[in-house]
Structure 1
Amino acid sequence: MGQGTQALRLARAGHTVTGLESDAEMLRVAREALADEPAGIRERVRLIEGDGLETGVHFLPGSFDVVLCHGVLMYVQEPDAMLAGLARMLAPGGLLSLLVRNGDALAMRPGTAGDWDTALAAFDTDAYTNRLGLTVRADRLDDLTATLAGIAAPLHAWYGVRTFTDHMSNDVELPAAAELDRVLAAEDRAGRTDPYRRVAALLHLCGVRG
């Protein structure tokens, strides 16, 4: 769950949330952020130190209505075992939400930046260097669709994320509210529309447990 940003937003929205994180420093940051929340929100959040590959140690089958795995699979060299463990935690009809780097569009970011050598190399690999300078991996829609079917949480819907704004730095100042609304509206429309969603930097996949 990283530093807990999404976990806290879900708790503020009224959900009961369990966060699993293996990095002690990330967990410390999350706990500090949680401590600043009102008591009603703190009561809805449970934070656990543990590895996503070992969910069976911490949770019984069918424990959750929704399982989020956002921005994690790129750091896992063999993701199938983790995905099977995540699906195992879903109650019948539960939702598995994945956010992954789009392996079919790795040439887009360097290509739009004019980095032609990196763009050409990206056509023949699923590895890339992320903004932290780490070499990680990307996933392809067809592969994940087959994996989700094989773990009894077949793909229900998918979206593209960051079609038009992937070139922007994480440190860029947000535009004024009206402009930001237009940016988000354009991204939302592109993320739901072919062919734009297929070249988005990230893919959001939703599998549903049978």
Structure 2
Amino acid sequence: MSDMGPVRTELMWQAVVDAVEVASDAVPGEGLNVLDLGGGTGSDAVRLAHLGHRVTVVDPSPDALASLHRRGVEAGLEHTVRGIQGDAADLLDHVEQSSIDLVICHGVLEHVDDPGQALATVATVLRPGGHASVVVSGRNAAVTARALAGDFIAAQTLLGTTSTTWDTQTMGPRRFVLEEVQELLGAHGFVTVATNGLRVFADLVPSAIVDTEPGARDALYALERLVRTSSDFTSLSAGLQSIARLDLNSAPSDTGGKHAAL
């Protein structure tokens, strides 16, 4: 059984912690109202609630939400963690406009019909000056992985496809470069305040090394933490994180019309 899963889990949790630290600077002295869009079974949500934040998880899976409820009850946090069945398309049916301090939007834009529309909805539920943490799959990392596997044609195809020309029906979930995410955020009233790379090396290191070398897992995690803020490595990361602030002058967007289903 590979130990790479825990490494990836902790790296994703580090991304949540980084976002909370940035957002908390804007709301000193009190916990945050956090929305975890596509938050699944709520492992991050419960950890956030333990830190004193109020967390709403919106996810389309009833099974995941049932697991979330059990986690909350077992932790004695059912009053600060709640689950709602839904997605980016019907988010405004469940969450009030301008009510959220931080939106966790991790692994969502790869799957929605319209990433821009999803971010417009995120902007609507955020209070002006609130923050969003967006994590997407990195295209350059996918190119590298295909090339290392000897699939050079697939690597060229990925290299020549942008997030706007990506066909999710034939190519699977979208992959982005950081500039595309920043352009999307900027188009919907956000200012990017921090970028991080996730899984710079973790997806390339053979799991056998982590499984058999004493201390290798902790050392890999420490290395990932060291390089996550370096632009030299971020562009090659399997995951790309952008932490962005909603401009104080931004008004709730008109999110009518097209929807962005998870």
- Class of the TM-score when normalised by the shorter of the 2 chains: 0.7 to 0.9
Show structure 2 runs of 5+ residues with no match: 1-38, 248-262
2:106 aligned with 1:70, yes or no? Answer: yes
Q: Show the counterpart of 1:34.
A: 72
Give the TM-score normalised by the residue count of structure 1.
0.85
1:95 alignment partner, one of 101, 117, 131: 131
Q: Contact 2:99–2:125 (CA<8 Å) still a contact in 1?
A: yes
Change (3 A) 1:150 1:46: same
- Structure 2: how far apart are the matches of 1:193 and 1:65? 27
CA offsets 1:85-108 (integer angstroms, 9 cap, x no match): 111111222110011011343212
Report deviation, 1:155.
1.0
- Structure 2: how far apart are the matches of 1:8 and 1:57? 24
Q: Contact 1:122–1:128 (CA<8 Å) still a contact in 2?
A: no
Change (3 A) 1:154 1:170: farther
- Structure 2: how far apart are the matches of 1:188 and 1:112? 24
Q: Show the counterpart of 1:113.
A: 149
Letter in 1 for 2:95: F
2:88 aligned with 1:43, yes or no? Answer: no
Letter in 2 for 1:15: H
Q: Show the counterpart of 1:13.
A: 51
Change (3 A) 1:113 1:172: same
- Structure 1: how far apart are the matches of 2:156 and 2:173? 18
Partner of 1:51: helix, strand, or coil? coil
- Structure 2: how far apart are the matches of 1:60 and 1:10? 21
Report deviation, 1:178.
4.2
- Structure 1: how far apart are the matches of 2:144 and 2:174? 15
- Structure 1: how far apart are the matches of 2:177 and 2:108? 15
- Structure 1: how far apart are the matches of 2:82 and 2:184? 29
Q: How many residues matched?
A: 204
2:79 aligned with 1:79, yes or no? Answer: no
- Structure 2: how far apart are the matches of 1:94 and 1:48? 21
Describe how 1:166-205 pairs up with structure 2 within 5 A.
166-167=203-204, 178-205=215-242
Which of structures 1 and 2 has the larger relative contact order (alpha carbons within 8 angstroms, sep 6+)?
Answer: 2
Give the TM-score normalised by the residue count of structure 2.
0.69
Show structure 1 runs of 5+ residues with no match: none
Q: Show the counterpart of 2:62.
A: 24
- Structure 2: how far apart are the matches of 1:174 and 1:206? 33
